[in-house]
Structure 1
């Protein structure tokens, strides 16, 4: 919490204000900035705080954490001729795919993803969206609305250590969305030509 302006120091704090300070203290302890016994002491004081003047000293010696700006999503639009993201490509946290009339294909089989989770927001529209994930990657489709076209989920629930979770959201539209592991031909191509 930043230094409290004098005009606010006597104002009473809410539970949300106390919780925000406690979160900042816990983050500081996780980063090694304060010891666990000091964390307990400061949390206890935060819970008893009545005004901003009571809270301010608890975080005065800690850096102010700035909100993390998330990168814009990768947007793929099928349009008339379709869109594809295949081969080795940099995977962002969020991907938005609109099937349009030409369809969209997103292939993760040659990518390296260091993120714990990737959200794919897919809208099947007229031609559909196909998502191909490597073996060992897990998929969560609970936030997806199948619509008229539906959802074809041909993935296995087994998640290998160190692999991302693909969180599929969006709607099936008329053509639907398919998410699967590589087929026989794709596996053969990956074995015989792994670099491309």
Structure 2
């Protein structure tokens, strides 16, 4: 992962930013990538961080900078009945999703993603495609052809350094492409689990 944040490193960190880094550090310790002493030290630094620039180095060595080229792309098709990919799943470096006539939803909120960047090629077709991403992730939708259905990106501009960036390409078709953060109901369900 590049150590340069995509935003100003002097930008003040939020409580959610600190919590996301703490969660990533705890996962790294559970995977055996951090020892207990180093975990304790980094947790202390994360909890006392006031800027994004202080958070970046804490997880920079835990996420690979290069996408694995051998991973198979994930291809999803809404077909005539629709499709929803959610829950816990491993995010590959590239995903192609077609809305078909039934629509397709790809929910990244509970996924395991160690990549710094994920390519998503989405085609809204008639049913449309919806992407749901965690608050700390960023989505670049500048390369999408809006088609008749258009592209709506309701994600916030904030991007926690060290979190994945989705590079969205494709076309809105007639159903459109919609990108958002989890709804209030989804957030409550995640907190319960």
**Same topology, TM > 0.5:** yes
| 1:189, distance to aligned residue in structure 2 (A) | 1.0
TM alignment of 1:106-121, pairs within 5 A: 106-121=106-121
- 1:69 deviates by 4.5
- Match status 1:157 vs 2:148: no
Q: CA deviation at 1:72?
A: 3.1
Does 2:158 match 1:188? no
* Long gaps (5+) in structure 1: 1-67
Q: Distance in 2 between matches of 1:91 and 1:156?
A: 21
Which one has the largest radius of gyration? 1
* Residue matched to 2:51: none
Provide the aligned length of Structure 1 versus Structure 2.
126
- Give the Cα separation in 2 of the matches to 1:98 and 1:181: 20
Residue 74 of structure 2 aligns with which residue? Answer: 74
Looking at structure 2, the residues matched to 142 and 187 of structure 1 have their Cα atoms a distance apart, in angstroms, of: 27
- Equivalent position SS for 1:191: helix
Written as runs of structure 1 = structure 2, the 5 A alignment for 1:39-118 is: 69-118=69-118
SS of residue in 2 equivalent to 1:100: coil
Question: Which residue does 1:166 correspond to in 2?
Answer: 166
- Residue 133 of structure 2 corresponds to 133
Supply the distance in 2 between the matched residues of 1:121 and 1:162 (Cα, whole angstroms): 22
Q: Distance in 2 between matches of 1:140 and 1:184?
A: 23
The change in CA–CA distance for 1:142 and 1:70 in structure 2 (over 3 A counts) is farther
Structure having greater relative contact order (Cα 8 Å, sep ≥ 6): 2
Q: Matched residue of 2:79: which SS?
A: coil
After superposition, give the CA deviation of every residue in 1:90-113 in whole Å (9 maximum; x if it has no partner): 110000000001111100000121
Q: Offset of 1:70 from its aligned partner?
A: 3.7
Q: TM-score normalized by structure 2? A: 0.63
Residue deviations 1:20-49, cap 9 Å, x none? xxxxxxxxxxxxxxxxxxxxxxxxxxxxxx
Q: Which runs of 4+ in 1 moved over 6 A?
A: none
